[in-house]
Each structure stands twice: as structure tokens, then as C-alpha cells.
């Protein structure tokens, strides 16, 4: 969907509580370019007709780009954000080996790691028979365990997920990996490389900032955030641009 070709700072529509959009907030802060945030409560507002005007499937995140386009899907959003300043080293030019490795890791995190937790979110949000709940959580447990084992081996002793410096993959990873704190599926300390990267990220100012945003605490040290904007305001802009 397009609104106007005016160049406005991008708007990230992030989901609370604990949305996977967390990584996109971190990535925006790492880049330091100006942006707005729009807070979307889940499952209420995210599934409303109003929100579905900008995201047909009713999920967060969504990004309104500087050109006024709305894009969804974390990988597309992260790649868009990263491409706005390749000099920061958190993303790579398409067609390079770096881009391929990053895209591979993002896809892995977005499917295998993200999906592994889906049964736990489902059991949290739905009334289920104990036997149905057990089938789902057993399935989820096996998937989370496998994803952690595989990722631990993939990462090895590299300082960050892809190598010597942090990338969009690390930003996305922390937003998903922290789900283990709610569901307590694995003991991450049994995966020392993942635990090390997790601890590094938790100490990162942009990650501390993103937690504060989600918890509605005063954010300390915003690098790029201009402020929050309401969904209604964005929709009015969409209408007036037609």
C-alpha cells in the first residue's frame, strides 16, 4: 500500500507484549536514523479492521517506509532498515556473500527458532484440554531443543551470530530468544555460545532501550526515536493522501 511519496521518517508498528518486532526496534536504534514508533496491543488492536488496513494479516511488525509504503514481515522490514545505511556494517549489499549469509540466518531464526515457540504461545492464549496441551508442548519442546542445538553448532565461538561484528541477525535473535524467559523451555546455559551472545545483547544500549519501550518506561539514550505516533494519525494520513 502506498500513501504519499513525501519523505517522512519511517514508522515502525511494534507489537506488545513481547512482539518479534523487538528486533526491528533494536536495528533502528543501531542505525541511528530518525524514526517514529506506533504501539500496537496484541491480540486486540493487531486484529482490528483499522490495523488490517495497513497489514492485511493482522500481525506486527509493519513498517511505513520513508517513501510511504507499508511493508510487513520481519525479514523484509529488517532488510529494508539495514539497506538504509550499509556503512554501519549491520547489513550487506544484496548480491554479496555477506548478504546471503545474513539472509540465511534471518530465515533460519524466522522459521525454525520463531516457530519452535509457537506451540507455547498457543497454549498460553487458548483454553485446552490437558492432554491436547501436553501434545503441543511436547512438540514445541522438541523443536526449541533442536533449534538451540543446531544454532549453537552453527554459531560456534564466533563473537556474534555471523562473525566478528553484530548484524541484523543479532537484533532479531534477541527479540525471539528472550521468549525462553517466559516459557522456560530450555536452560540456555547449556548452550554457552548462545548464552554468551544473549548476555552481550542484553547489555547493549539499544536492547535496554527496546525493553524500556515495550514496558512503557522512560527510554534512556534513544538514538533515532523521534517519538510515538498513534495508529489513528497514520490512518488519517493514509486517507488524506488518497
Q: At 35, give phi and psi (nearest 5°).
A: -155, 160
Name the minimum Å distance from CB 202 to ligand GSH: 19
For residues 42, 118, 100 and 37, what is the CA-based torsion angle, rounded to 10 degrees?
A: 10
Q: Rule CB under 6 A: is residue 74 a binding residue for ligand GSH?
A: yes
> Whole-angstrom Cα distance, residue 63 to residue 176?
19
Place of cell 533502528: 28
CA–CA dist 242, 97 (Å, integer): 41
Q: Does 73 bind ligand GSH (CB under 6 A)?
A: yes
Q: For ligand GSH, which is the closer residue by CB, 5 or 215?
A: 215
Using rule CB under 6 A, residue 63 touches ligand GSH: no
Q: Which is nearer to ligand GSH, 22 or 92 (CB)?
A: 22
Restricted to residues 99-118, the positions that interact with ligand GSH (CB under 6 A) are 110
Kindly determine how many residues on this chain lie close enough to bind ligand GSH according to the rule CB under 6 A: 13
Residue 60 lies near ligand GSH (rule: CB under 6 A): yes
Q: Is residue 46 near ligand GSH by the rule CB under 6 A?
A: yes
Residue placing its CB nearer to ligand GSH in the complex, 122 or 223 = 122
Do 235 and 70 form a contact (C-beta atoms < 8 A)? no
CB 87, min distance to ligand GSH, A: 26
Nearer to ligand GSH, 126 or 158 (CB): 126
Nearer to ligand GSH, 42 or 194 (CB): 42
Contact call for residue 20 and ligand GSH (CB under 6 A): yes
- Quickly list DSSP for 188-206: GGGSHHHHHHHHHHHTSHH
Rounded-to-integer distance, Cα 8 and Cα 11, Å? 9
- Indicate whether 42 belongs to the interface with ligand GSH (CB under 6 A): yes
Which of 60, 79 has the CB closer to ligand GSH? 60
Closest to 70 in 3D by CA, of 53, 45, 58: 53
14 SS3 class? strand
Cβ atoms of residues 11 and 69 within 8 Å: no
Kindly indicate which of the ranges 38-46, 97-105, 201-209, 227-235 contains the residues binding ligand GSH, using the contact rule CB under 6 A. 38-46
How far apart, in Å, are the Cα atoms of 153 and each of 43, 127, 158, 173, 176? 35, 36, 11, 15, 18
Which spans of this chain sit near ligand GSH (rule: CB under 6 A)? 15, 19-20, 42-43, 46-47, 59-61, 73-74, 110
Amino acid at each position: 500500500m502506498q500513501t504519499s511519496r513525501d519523505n517522512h521518517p519511517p514508522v515502525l508498528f511494534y507489537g506488545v507484549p513481547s512482539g518479534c518486532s523487538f528486533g526491528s526496534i533494536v536495528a533502528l536504534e543501531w542505525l541511528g536514523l530518525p524514526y517514529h514508533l506506533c504501539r500496537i496491543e496484541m491480540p486486540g488492536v493487531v486484529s482490528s479492521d483499522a490495523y488490517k488496513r495497513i497489514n492485511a494479516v493482522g500481525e506486527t511488525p509493519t513498517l511505513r517506509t520513508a517513501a510511504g509504503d507499508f511493508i510487513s514481515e520481519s525479514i523484509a522490514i529488517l532488510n529494508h532498515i539495514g539497506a538504509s545505511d550499509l556503512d554501519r556494517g549491520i547489513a550487506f549489499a544484496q548480491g554479496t556473500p555477506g548478504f546471503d549469509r545474513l539472509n540465511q540466518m534471518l530465515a533460519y531464526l524466522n522459521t525454525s527458532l520463531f516457530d519452535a515457540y509457537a506451540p507455547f504461545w498457543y497454549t498460553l492464549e487458548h483454553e485446552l484440554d490437558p492432554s491436547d496441551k501436553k501434545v503441543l508442548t511436547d512438540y514445541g519442546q522438541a523443536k526449541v531443543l533442536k533449534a538451540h542445538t543446531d544454532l549453537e553448532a552453527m554459531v560456534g565461538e564466533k563473537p556474534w551470530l555471523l562473525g566478528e561484528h553484530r548484524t541484523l541477525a543479532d537484533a532479531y535473535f534477541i527479540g525471539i530468544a528472550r521468549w525462553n524467559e517466559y516459557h522456560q523451555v530450555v536452560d540456555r546455559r547449556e548452550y554457552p555460545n548462545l548464552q554468551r551472545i544473549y548476555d552481550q545483547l542484553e547489555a547493549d544500549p539499544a536492547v535496554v532501550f527496546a525493553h524500556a519501550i515495550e514496558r512503557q518506561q522512560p527510554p534512556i539514550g534513544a538514538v533515532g526515536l523521534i517519538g510515538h505516533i498513534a495508529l489513528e494519525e497514520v490512518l488519517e494520513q493514509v486517507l488524506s493522501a488518497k
